[in-house]
Chains A and B, each alone.
Chain A
């Protein structure tokens, strides 16, 4: 692991830069200057290069007909029930469907439960989930981590507990571009216990053709300094911090296309407290991203 230790306290540094004749202030600076901020930037060794995938999910995929035929894979006709803002609610005999191209969202649910539980191979379930998404237009070019998991339910009635039961099988698919995770964007495909397709929940807005800020000219030392500054602004002057590349999306068009911007996430570890614990958190570090 390539870990660099930066021994400085930003608050103290800033205080030292300010004109002061208060001896107590100088003492505070010395005290805070001995704290350590350990920044691990080893994950930034490989700097993202390249362009967005030529083959990727498009806005057309969010058309109601396309979702019905390619994601749900049903010939059933859908009727529009209602709308809230840009979100559309549709219904067919067997399915309910919600689409919102502006937000890049799709929610598909089968109205009936699956059949009797069967012995299922998680590898097969995952392959089927990815094939379904690919058929719809969500291609492997944008796919990063894929996890196969079970939804579990543990029941307790009148103080009598049962053993946990499997409720469904889920394939979590996380978006990635140029080897960098895209925050927030994921697709979750759910299979019932008999292996049939039960539901899909997708947040995967279409990427615009241009306008992305995918790269940075900053070196690791510069990024570490920026991370330290960002942490200092939050009052964090000590602790073991890990840096990771991330893409964040912002709207590029009213229709729903987004552009990506490269940032660095500085992971601040959790803090144990007497009354409450502070969760681990990511602070975004601006890396002056460029096209």
Chain B
């Protein structure tokens, strides 16, 4: 599919008179102002929130500069695929450009813009975010930190994030974003609030997940390996880590929604960015994990 911006840039070719030039410029601006990639066949949005507590950013944590590198690492393979004509659109948003309103469904809050063209998380087919997170068993939800205090500073899995437009695969590098107890109590069900929801996969972490100077390489490897196969299983292979000490494992999990366990297993094992499996109506889910994984801020997972 042709990139909308590139196609429209070609309409703004130099002309031979100032008046005509001015008219053409106005026409071009009007065209550019229109949505450029509405429902493009394959869109990926990557988000990273590294800055907290300064300017318009949200408070409550220290700056983790790594969070700003990983969206680029994730996007690299999508840009390569796009160059080869195998992907259509790639967008990266960082810090104050990561706005709660773009992770909020209009059904939750009037004016929610999760399907906003080029910015909304539900406008993409594949979404990656690296930020801080937290969960509450009593509130039966996880939430993610956003980058702009002008909008919501946190978005919740049980309310804001209702994926009912384009999003099929969400990849979330954030602490406690896929808690086992919350899943058992239905805390991620609102995300596929209608049986017709497009969302099939929520790759996240049970408990805290460490980061460091090495995180970007892991994100990049995972993204490169998951073009056609193993989009769920690769996530577990790449990020499962048993650190020195106790109760501090990194426990990646993959939550797959669909009509039956067979369809869900198929997406977990054989799905990919360019081969997103249909999992049927979203009447159930499977929670995939590495047995006995024991993280900080989460129960030891059953084996």
Contacts and interface: CB of A to CB of B under 8 A. Distances in A.
A149 B62 contact: no
A10 to B, nearest CB: 15
A147 interface: yes
Contacts, number: 189
Given A84-B84, A201-B234, A98 B225 contact: yes
B5 to A, nearest CB: 23
B296 interface: yes
Interface in B232-275: 233-234, 236-238, 240, 242, 244, 248, 260-261, 264-265, 268-270
A64 interface: no
Given A149-B291, A152-B301, A280-B208, A271 B225 contact: no
B210 A281 contact: yes
B176 A281 contact: no
A188 B60 CA distance: 37
Contacts of B63: 234-235
Contacts of B100: none
A167 interface: yes
Given A277-B175, A278-B62, A284 B288 contact: no
Provide the main secondary structure of the chain A interface: strand
B230 A152 contact: no
Contacts of B224: 87, 100, 103, 105
B183 to A, nearest CB: 8
A121 interface: no
A37 to B, nearest CB: 15
B145 A150 contact: no
A147 B236 CA distance: 14
Interface stretch (B17-25, B107-115, B196-204, B212-220): B212-220
Given A89-B228, A203-B221, A280 B184 contact: no
Interface in A183-218: 183-184, 186, 188, 190, 199, 201, 203
Contacts of B238: 201
Interface string B132-153: 1110000000010100000001
Interface of A: 84-85, 87, 89, 96, 98, 100, 103, 105, 107, 109, 145, 147, 149-159, 161, 164, 166-167, 170, 172, 183-184, 186, 188, 190, 199, 201, 203, 234-236, 242, 244, 246, 248, 263, 265, 270-271, 273-284
8 contacts: A98-B228, A155-B285, A156-B184, A170-B237, A190-B233, A270-B175, A273-B134, A281-B211
